[in-house]
Amino acid sequence: MTDAVAVLVSGGIDSAVLAAELARRHGRVHPLYLRHGLHWEEVELAHLRGFLAAAGSPRIAPLSLLDLPVGDVYGEHWSISGQSVPDAATPDEAVYLPGRNLLFLAKAGVWCERHGVHTVALAPLQGNPFADNTDEFYRAMEGILTLSLGFPIEIVRPFSTLTKADVIRLGRDLPLAQTFSCISPIGVMHCGRCNKCEERRRAFAAAGVNDPTEYAGGA
């Protein structure tokens, strides 16, 4: 990877830890947050800003916000409406957001070309089941971005062989309490009942690391 790298970040554990790890190995890390209009984004974004401030790396550039609304194509999807959000009993497939990596990388690729950054990183983990998270997809996107922009772009996934528990252990000294995983927040808190809260809770337990998350109702 080159000395400068862009990283797609949410408020979650995986991309937050990835940004911090990249800052240990690169001279400049550019965090990119894409706003789709999903109903949890403002809470997530507040946590992300808190994490980046608490992490305090001088190598991490100010957060760049990129707008790419999807309400016109997602319609009444639960991620927009906040209704019928997948709960703790649902499988991983229930939280699929159609075309999310496709949209992320298309917009991030243009940002990279405009800023002279040839590498973009994202943080999918081992076992991610979605069609836009295959080796074939990422190779194709590298080719499409490079061809369409006339600018070589490399897509890297440093955590693709890791579990969420592995990432938590890797980032255990980081301000993980500032990260945010919930898809049905109650105020500014994790709901403690949705699919992603359950995944978060299980991962901290599997990692053997104290879960610093404050769940609504003490869940």
For 55, counting Cβ atoms within 10 Å of its Cβ (0-12 exposed, 13-18 middle, 19+ buried), the class is: middle
CA distance 43 to 57: 22
CA distance 5 to 3: 7
- Among 93-97, 129-133, 156-160, the minimum mean pLDDT is found in 129-133
This prediction's pTM: 0.94
CA distance 142 to 136: 10
Q: What is the mean pLDDT of residues 84-95?
A: 91
- Among 21-30, 92-101, 102-111, the minimum mean pLDDT is found in 92-101
Res 106 pLDDT > 90: yes
Domains of the chain: 4-218 (3.40.50.620)
DSSP one-letter string for 150-179: TS--EEE-TTTT--HHHHHHHTTTS-GGG-
Residue 208's region, left for phi above 0, alpha for psi from -120 to 50, else beta, is: left
CA distance 73 to 86: 20
Q: Please, which pLDDT band fits residue 153 given cuts at 50, 70 and 90?
A: very high
CA distance 14 to 11: 9
Res 217 pLDDT > 70: no
Q: Please, which pLDDT band fits residue 93 given cuts at 50, 70 and 90?
A: confident
Residue 143: the pLDDT is 97
Tokens matching residue 113: 């070309």
